[in-house]
Structure 1
């Protein structure tokens, strides 16, 4: 029923958004006579604010068509190397053949699109041959394609590692740190190929350490509450009609609820800057991405809640994937880098670093941990601290363990 209410709200708001867009054009466009009447900028700013609040945000594009390598501009072409029902493996292929480390970025499947890592990709492209998991909005996947479980996520990661070969390096940010560690552990136990390095950034390997509000919510509610309260069915107007999902708009509401005053002030600042003719590009860039959300398959979301946030199967040594035990202690030849933000309010300090304890067989010379002072969750993979402090650590670690 939540989905139907949400869709009805959008149906009601869309005409309002269209009207506000027209008012903005009439009040703020130089050719329009109305743009010269008193308070025209205020009308235009108010109309723009209404558009931002009422519009339906679509999946953004990466829009990365070039990078620089050793001072030279190199063109980029985005290609789908592999396509699965719930994910595409994208390759940012350089138009010149370069000897660079092959890097698989496993993007979070936690409400936002992989484009949230645009800055991550853009900076890493200077020195790496970059691939990324582009997860599909579950409402766009027909029911005939079957379910998508946490075990399937692990299998996808394994398939992509095999496809890219033993020279690949793997980087996981937030949610995928657990399934990536699971995938590499299982491959080590089976004598399968291994990536050269595994970089885990800001992820809930053990949510019992320095628990955040996110962890506390997951631990305070029984599994049945999540199944009854946040799972809904995709309505008929989408290809995935009838699929049970955790809707992206609920995840988005949860993110907003963590810091409502911060987001409210951001929109107030947007109005004032727009009314006074000041730049608003930073606001548009951030919220065009932040407000674009995707649905997750219900079975994947619920299993993640139970396995990762309630039973802590990975650190407890009780996690099994398709009947096989997940044993991080079997990993011996993969170099391990963990990264945490000192001010992370999504994954607390120590939750990711504990991977070093679990991967006890990795030699000390092939381990490294980096804690970034002053960095929140998003700061570890986007923004100035990522570009100037964290990415150089990641790139240096990869080069040092590139064989």
Structure 2
């Protein structure tokens, strides 16, 4: 009975929601070439990165400049520390630090007027590609026109940039502010600051998924993919940084391109995390739609009159003659049968072929 027991265990595992979501997410990623879409998104993101940092950091420097040089240096140090947590030291010193020094030290109106306009166009272009790729992962590619997508990406980018100008200094200076305002008996709340920031970032990603779709879905249903994207982003960034720190040292074969390539790889991890989260949400939405459809069909079957049958012969397990097949089954079980019946039959046939066969007695 060992083979049949293995078949039953496989069937139970296959019917669990977690396995269905994992299998559907992987299938969606393979169907829409998630690696190619992530490479496309990372390419446009790195093209938009210099004007984005120039405009955003210049605006932040212009706002924070009113608090004095000490506040600017503190914000700069916090940004560099965050960059060190995601990139290698060489990339930080050759790409991030010079940009921050050139922009934060002179947050004037000319930085905002020139760099901000460039950042609006380039940043919205990268966000336009990101929205388009997320839509493809959901299976809605081509539903929204080019003009509508461009207008949506531009408006979302302007709103996000306006919020970031105010929020970024508060987030960076947040632990110090919280520590100064809290009494000594509540100092343990300081350790909860960054978890709260992560949760808020997850909500931002859920909002991005919610707004990117041409067909609106419940906002709460997008939190699953946002959580998956956040976990993949943090884990993938840590793995990338650890790997590059241990493998890249001394003279690189890429020469002066080594630091930009590291930034490109990090952006690739960010984009592929977002797209895998979108694939997870698409699988979850399809599962919820199947369950809702099954419940509607069960309700329709319960309202239909049933003809009396003199004999109640079982036509298949759990359903007898005279009963409506959809009415006799639990909605979750019905959904399981509709999605896994073909696989169950194949496994049953495999189990029968590989099952225990009693040895035939030898002929005397």
The question of a shared fold, defined as TM-score above 0.5 by the shorter chain, is answered with no
TM range (shorter): under 0.3
Higher relative contact order (CA 8 A, sep 6+): 2
Q: Which has the higher strand share?
A: 1
Relative to the length of structure 1, the TM-score reads 0.22
Q: Which has the higher helix share?
A: 2
